[in-house]
Amino acid sequence: MLYVIVAGGGKVGFYLSKTLLAAGYEVLLLEKDREKHRNLAEQLGEAAVHGDGCEVRKLLEVGVTRADIVVAATGDDEDNLVICQMAKERFKVNRVIARINNPKNEAIFHQLGITETVNGTAVLYHMIEQEVETDTVIPLAALQRGNMELVEAALSRHSPIIGLELQQIKLPDGSLIVSLIRNGRGSLPTATTRLEAGDTLIALVNADQEIALCQILAGRQEGR
């Protein structure tokens, strides 16, 4: 069983941890804000731990030396860079993945050796610039005014949607898969894109359907 440490208990970190737990991974979610940690612990139990992923002592306490993957998913790019560098250089973690909030910082991460990054802002920007298959374009202003959420979901080899084409997956109303990240590279998927273990899906979804979407991507569901 792979052991994954996720640093940052915001929406991205929470739903990623929840998805990985449902898929059978051993997961530990680090959150430094006490109030936020209490809320996370109510939903994730012992998988949520209070602590700062930038602190060497805390990383050692949660077993970073045996971690297979460390994901830095905080809302602060500087913290994410520090976490990934420590995990990779000091503790020799085999795989580190960083969330990037400001697209301008992506080149810095890559220059410093953190090559697996997820940049939701850049994905949305490029998706908005391109026409999707329905010949419609999602305007940025509409997203800003609307009640939309951006969801990231990492697919393990145990995910029930592995091997399916996107058109075979029954998604909740008001949701759209806008990007697929495979081997560190993002792309705009088509209806016939077949999903593989290790893929990360990025979706736009109405806020009231966010949990339902995450459950479909992590749990059992029937093809369309």
CATH number at residue 171: 3.30.70.1450
The stretch 142-148 carries a mean pLDDT of: 54
CA pair distance 217, 155, nearest whole angstrom: 8
Whole-number pLDDT of residue 73: 93
CA pair distance 198, 183, nearest whole angstrom: 8
Same domain, 47 and 97: yes
pLDDT in tens, 171-217: 888 788 888 888 877 777 888 899 998 888 888 887 778 778 877 77
Same domain, 143 and 91: no
Is a pLDDT exceeding 80 seen at residue 93?
A: yes
What are the Cα distances from residue 215, in Å, to 19, 136, 152, 176?
8, 27, 12, 15
Establish if 223 belongs to a structural domain: no
Whole-number pLDDT of residue 197: 86
Is a pLDDT exceeding 90 seen at residue 3?
A: yes
Query: Which residues, in sequence order, are CB contacts of 145 under 8 Å at separation 6+?
Result: none
Same domain, 175 and 140: yes
Is a pLDDT exceeding 60 seen at residue 97?
A: yes
| Strand partners of residue 28 | 5
Same domain, 111 and 129: no
Same domain, 82 and 144: no
Whole-number pLDDT of residue 1: 82
Which range, of 59-63, 89-93, 122-126, 128-132, averages the lowest pLDDT? 128-132
Q: Do 196 and 137 form a contact (C-beta atoms < 8 A)?
A: no
Q: How many domains does the chain have?
A: 2
Domain finish residue from 118, 141, 168: 118
Amino acid at residue number 202: I
pLDDT in tens, 41-85: 999 999 999 999 999 999 999 999 999 999 999 999 999 999 999
Establish if 212 belongs to a structural domain: yes
Could you tell me the end-to-end alpha-carbon distance of the chain, in angstroms, rounded to an integer? Answer: 31
The stretch 7-14 carries a mean pLDDT of: 92
Whole-number pLDDT of residue 117: 84
Domain that holds residue 200: 121-218
CA pair distance 138, 19, nearest whole angstrom: 27
Domain finish residue from 88, 118, 148: 118
What are the Cα distances from residue 107, in Å, to 7, 75, 115, 160?
21, 18, 9, 35
Whole-number pLDDT of residue 121: 67
Residue 88 has which token pair?
């990779």
CA pair distance 189, 166, nearest whole angstrom: 8
Q: CB-based burial of residue 18 (10 Å sphere; 0-12 exposed, 13-18 middle, 19+ buried)?
A: buried
Same domain, 109 and 50: yes
Domain finish residue from 61, 93, 118: 118
